[in-house]
Amino acid sequence: MTVKTTFPKGFLWGGATAANQCEGAYDVDGKGLTIADVSPGGKERLGLLMSGEFPLEIDRDNYTYPNHKGIDFYNRYKEDIAMFAEMGFKTFRMSISWARIFPNGDDAEPNEAGLRHYENVIDELLKYGIEPTITMSHYETPLNLVKEYGGWKNRELIALFERYAKVILERFHTKVKYWMTFNEINTGVFGSFFSTAMREAVPQDNFQALHNQFVASSLATKMAHELNPNIMMGCMSIYATMYTMDSNPLTAIKREEENRLLNYYCNDLQVRGEYPSYALKYFKKNGIEIEIAEGELALIKEHTVDYLSFSYYMSSTVSTEVGEEARGNFFGGTKNPFLKASEWGWEIDPVGLRIALCDLYGRYGVPLYISENGLGASDNVEKDGSINDDYRIDYLKLHIEEMAKAINIDGVDLMAYTPWGCIDLVSASTGEMSKRYGFIYVDLDDEGHGTMKRSKKKSFNWYKEVITNNGL
């Protein structure tokens, strides 16, 4: 059967970034430190973050901090946005760094210089007709909230986030239609430092932190809709399609349990607005007691999101046998014999994206937004300056084809696609520059050397054509 690869009129093609990974200027114009500013660079970053064995101070004698410099998007945003416009972006997903607005997270007054900066960036996007999509919190909680409050397990963060959300919504609600509250909120299930801003992963605290974020997210959604009913507020989770290694029913049950906790739990709360019954049983079994204040459950129920966004990089395979582990998969699991992996061990699975779209749309029935997807790869600059990233084109092409099938065969309501790191930026899991995702190459290496000059990769013109033809 030939599949029409049409995308809906008004489909939001674009690209995605996060402030901490591209802006640099980490101590400029009154910005406070964030958790990303003390996260060391290098392949060992993820291990350090998991073990908590790194200082919460800048320690240049022992570590490097690539996020401090980023790719200098803070100063070069005009040049970069002009290139996004040249590709024809309809939307650009960016985050606001909380610590540019409230340097310590708990300051009495917001920092006007920070607000002005984002206003300039937003105006620059609008100048080209690019709709900003803003993530309110993308792995960049103010550091002071870790040190003084212990991160998101502390219920005081709800009010602090509410104040931050109020300030940015009041300032930008007429200019920005698409928002997301917390990036990859479900990484909090295993207590990721990036999303919970907590040094230790303890199930009780992880689920309390998530509850506090659900409340904060609903408060932001309520405010946004009151200010401007046209605003579309989304949640954002990482999603990995889960397979079973064999047809053993016991493997299927294991998958069911992992799947609902990792892929569904947060979406169930933020889209359906209720604690699912499997979660209540799980809490009871594991001695988890969440402190819930009066009115919070009603708030979560009433102020659910308008669309569901998710990042998709890989699938995951569940097994009841001892097998070879999949090296880079976020949700662990066994190596899938049918899939190839990226240089960083992330299993590449375009069909898994179609399955993800069907699964999420079937379960929730709200518009879907693929807020991240892409191939982290080393790029080679040829003598003539060209960068022939055919592997990236192949990866994206295969994923876009599966999106088209989900829309045209499966009837999924997909509203947007913003590939990750549309311009090369600092990797979240390793702090490397050499793990590149962009259509735009940035001349900068892992040690921070380079001119930061921007140049177009082969994928730049390819993606431009995809957008011009609306995916055809």
Query: At its nearest, how many Å lie between ligand BG6 and the CB of residue 184?
Result: 5
Strands 368-372 and 307-311: parallel
* Segment lying near ligand BG6 (by CB under 6 A), choices 102-110, 221-229, 423-431, 446-454: 423-431
Is 445 exposed, middle or buried (CB count within 10 Å of its CB: 0-12, 13-18, 19+)?
exposed
Residues in the chain: 472
Is the separation of the CB atoms in 438 and 421 below 8 Å?
A: yes
435 binds ligand BG6 (CB under 6 A): yes
Under the criterion CB under 6 A, does residue 184 sit at the interface with ligand BG6?
yes
Judged by CB under 6 A, the chain residues 232 through 251 that form the site for ligand BG6 are 238
CA dist., res. 436 & res. 434, Å (int):
6
Judged by CB under 6 A, the residue of 142, 151, 376, 419 near ligand BG6 is 376
Closest Cα partner for 101 from 176, 30, 22, 169?
30
User: Applying CB under 6 A, which of residues 212, 263, 316, 427 lies at the interface with ligand BG6?
Assistant: 427
Residue placing its CB nearer to ligand BG6 in the complex, 98 or 420 = 420
Give the phi and the psi of residue 316 in degrees, each rounded to 5: -145, 145
Q: Which of 184, 296, 372, 432 is catalytic?
A: 372
- Residue 428 lies near ligand BG6 (rule: CB under 6 A): yes
Say how far apart CA 172 and CA 236 lie, in whole Å: 20
**Number of Cβ within a 10 Å radius of residue 178:** 24
* 88 versus 234: smaller Cβ distance to ligand BG6: 234
Would you call 119 a catalytic residue per the annotation? no
- Tell me which of 311, 329, 334, 336 binds ligand BG6, using CB under 6 A: 311
Q: Is-contact 157 151, C-beta < 8 A? A: yes
- Specify the residue, 104 or 429, whose C-beta has the smaller distance to ligand BG6: 429
Shortest Å, Cβ 114 to ligand BG6: 20
> Which tokens go with 353?
């994206």
Contact 366, 305 (CB under 8 A): yes
446 near ligand BG6 (CB under 6 A): no
Q: Which of 13, 14, 18, 77 lies at the binding interface for ligand BG6 (CB under 6 A)?
A: 18
C-alpha distances out from residue 115 to 105, 162, 453, Å: 14, 16, 27
Per the CB < 8 A criterion, the answer to whether 184 and 140 are in contact is no
Beta strands in 355-460 (DSSP E): 368-372, 414-417, 440-442, 454-456
Give the residue at shortest CB distance from ligand BG6. Answer: 429
- Helix (H) / strand (E) element for 178: namely strand 178-182
What DSSP string describes 254-301? Answer: HHHHHHIIIIIHHHIIIII-S--HHHHHHHHHTT------TTHHHHHH
Number of residues that bind ligand BG6 (CB under 6 A): 15
Task: By CB under 6 A, name the one of 429, 434, 455, 470 that touches ligand BG6.
Answer: 429
Least distance (Å) between residue 313 CB and ligand BG6: 6
Single out the segment in contact with ligand BG6 by CB under 6 A; choices: 108-116, 347-355, 425-433, 450-458: 425-433
Binding string to ligand BG6 for residues 142 to 181, with x set by CB under 6 A, is what?
----------------------------------------
Selected from 307, 310, 361, 420, the binder of ligand BG6 by CB under 6 A is 420
Minimum distance from residue 427 beta carbon to ligand BG6 (Å)? 3
Q: How far is the CB of 180 from ligand BG6 (least distance, A)?
A: 11
CB 310, min distance to ligand BG6, A: 10
Select the residue interacting with ligand BG6 from 140, 268, 349, 372 (CB under 6 A): 372
Find the binding residues for ligand BG6 in span 42-81 (CB under 6 A).
none
- Shortest separation between residue 331's beta carbon and ligand BG6, angstroms: 12
Q: Do 353 and 293 touch, CB atoms closer than 8 A?
A: no
Contacts of 332 (CB under 8 A, 6+ apart): 316, 325, 326
- Active site members: 372
Interface residue list for ligand BG6 (CB under 6 A): 18, 21, 139, 183-184, 238, 311, 372, 376, 420, 427-430, 435
